[in-house]
Homo-oligomer: A and B are copies of this chain.
Amino acid sequence: MAGLDKVVTSYEQALAGLADGMTIIAGGFGLCGIPEGLIAQIKKMGIRDLTVVSNNCGVDGFGLGILLENRQIKKMISSYVGENELFEKQLLSGELEVELTPQGTLAEKIRAGGAGIPAFFTATGYGTPIGEGKEVREFHGRQYILEESVTGDFAIVKGWKADRYGNVIYRHTARNFNPLAATAGKITVVEVEEIVEPGELDIDNVHTPGIYVDRIIQGTFEKRIERRTVRSQEA
């Protein structure tokens, strides 16, 4: 790792510097497009009191769910916790602090964090519990609430391919929150299926330009499917 080359070869290097009490922004939607090896490493490191910003929190026993089980997470900022019994249980018991955030607001908060926008107005959540305590303002005859952006000490991201300079592409709906997370970490670590040489990715179709990325590691992925739903062959 020198100059623009961001490839690291061990998970220890990939998450060096991660410490108790830090905020992590994690890409992924459900179990789709999650940095499996980086999550496993966080568990291994035993880091505690984490604030995790992620649309979901995995499922029991997989994805971010393993950090819940291990009591490493103090606070989640998420839009949906319905797939995860332990999440719901820790939430209802008050053991886990949860900031439920509408999915689009969450995406925009992360994007804004990476883009140097400290706050923005949105109609989402106005008149609901989400809007309580937030500034309300009218624009063009409609009511909006002020939402602040979010950034992380670390961002953990799952890409499909990356070149050594940290340019990343995602595959299909495994993209989701990943490119946003990549912009919003003080240190952004991307775990990919394949590392390629600079020049191999199409210049017009890099999803995450390397400027956002600090470390790249090649992982192996189980890619567990949350709801395998199929139609019969003839349909």
Contact = CB atoms under 8 A, between A and B. Distances in A.
A195 to B, nearest CB: 19
A142 B202 CA distance: 38
- Say whether chain A's binding surface is mostly helix, strand, loop, or mixed: mixed
B123 A139 contact: no
Counted per complex, copies of this chain come to 2
Nearest to A169: B204
A204 B140 contact: no
A171 B120 contact: no
A119 B120 contact: yes
Nearest to A139: B118
Contacts of A118: 121, 139-140, 142, 144
A123 B112 contact: no
A87 interface: no
Interface residues of A, number: 26
Nearest to A174: B204
A3 interface: no
Nearest to A137: B119
Most interface-central of A119, A120, A171, A172 (chain B CB within 10 A):
A120
Contacts of A117: 108, 120-122
Most interface-central of A117, A202, A203 (chain B CB within 10 A):
A117
Which 10 pairs show the lowest CB-CB distances between chains A and B? A118-B139, A120-B120, A205-B205, A119-B121, A117-B120, A118-B121, A118-B144, A117-B122, A119-B139, A172-B204
Given A116-B122, A118-B139, 18 more contacts: A108-B115, A116-B123, A117-B120, A117-B121, A118-B140, A118-B144, A119-B120, A119-B121, A119-B137, A119-B144, A120-B120, A120-B121, A169-B204, A170-B204, A171-B204, A172-B203, A204-B205, A205-B205
Interface of A: 108, 112, 115-123, 137, 139-140, 142, 144, 148, 169-172, 175, 202-205
